Every structure is written in C-alpha cells, then in structure tokens.
Amino acid sequence: MLFHVRMDVAIPRQIDPAERTRLVTAERERALALQEAGTWLHLWRIVGKYSNISVFDVQSSDELHEILWTLPLFPFMTIDVTPLAEHPSRRKST
C-alpha cells in the first residue's frame, strides 16, 4: 500500500543544542535505513519550511503508524497521511 505523508517539524527553540543535533542525526539514520529497506520510497523537502513530502510503501496503515512512531523527531511533527490508489491513466513502466 502506498501512502503520501506530509511531515511538518517544529523542534522547540529551547531544546538543548546537543540534543537537537542527536535527534536530527538519529532521524537521518532512520530515514536512510527505511529508504534502503524500500519502505520510504520518496522523500522531498518543501522549500522554505522544515517539512517534507514522502511516499511510503507498506503492508498496512498499522505498519505505517508504527514506522512513524519510531521516527526520532515524531514528538515534534504534525503529520498528514493520505492513502494512494493507482490512477487508471497512469503510464505503466516498461
């Protein structure tokens, strides 16, 4: 199942700089691992914001929920999830 996910991040300004660096580094490592596993298919930055648009390929909405909860920056995110279905006019890859 494919899901379009928008993540808006708002890390509090008063957070300790070392903790912020640790969280951001851990988030990057987790995102890379999910991309290498083929779960996080696309990751695009939204220009001018600390936000991204992503596409995940998972077996269920429950699996996506669990993945999102494992993201180190999850406590600081507002997330919007949209399930995707194949469009009948989509050009097929050869």
* Residue 10 belongs to domain with CATH number: 3.30.70.1060
**Which of the four pLDDT bands, split at 50, 70 and 90, describes residue 94?**
low
State how far the Cα of 85 lies from the Cα of 63, in Å rounded to an integer. 17
Per the structure, the complete domain to which residue 68 belongs is given by: 2-76
State how far the Cα of 17 lies from the Cα of 60, in Å rounded to an integer. 36
Residue range 13-55, pLDDT digits in tens? 999 999 999 999 999 999 999 999 999 999 999 999 999 999 9
In a domain, 28, yes or no: yes
Report the length, in residues, of the chain: 94
In a domain, 50, yes or no: yes
pLDDT of residue 56: 98
Partners of 8 in beta bridges: 51, 78
The two three-digit tokens of residue 37, written as one number: 């596993």
* pTM for this model (two decimals): 0.89
- Provide the number of structural domains found in the chain: 1
In a domain, 12, yes or no: yes
In a domain, 29, yes or no: yes
In a domain, 70, yes or no: yes
What distance, in Å, lies between the first and last C-alpha atoms of the chain? Answer: 21
CB 30 within 8 Å of CB 71:
yes
